[in-house]
Homo-oligomer: A and B are copies of this chain.
Amino acid sequence: MVDHVYRIIEVAGSSERSIDDAIRNAIARASRTLRQVGWFEVIQTRGHVEDGKVAHFQVILKVGFTLEDGQSDD
């Protein structure tokens, strides 16, 4: 049980509504193809502005997931 080996990848997500939603969108998308997502860390919060208003928030996340035995590392 002890020797956890996992990978960390970087994904981006965005939302017109909020930073929280941009995070949820990125996690939902990543979880469609990765079964064992365990945690995330926000490493950048940005956004686009149109007509003087925030058009959407965008986050870049580090996402950690467990490697299953048959799974490729790349």
A-side interface mostly: strand
Interface size class of A (residues with CB under 8 A): 35 or more
Quick check: B52 and A46 within 8 Å, CB to CB? no
Quickly give the copy total for this chain. 12
Quick check: B25 and A5 within 8 Å, CB to CB? yes
Closest CB-CB distance, A46 to chain B, in whole Å? 5
Quick check: B48 and A39 within 8 Å, CB to CB? yes
Show 5 A/B contacts (Cβ-Cβ < 8 Å), sorted by A. A3-B56, A8-B60, A9-B9, A9-B73, A27-B49
Residues of chain A at the chain B interface (Cβ within 8 Å): 2-16, 18-20, 23-34, 37-42, 44-49, 52-58, 60, 62-65, 67, 71-74
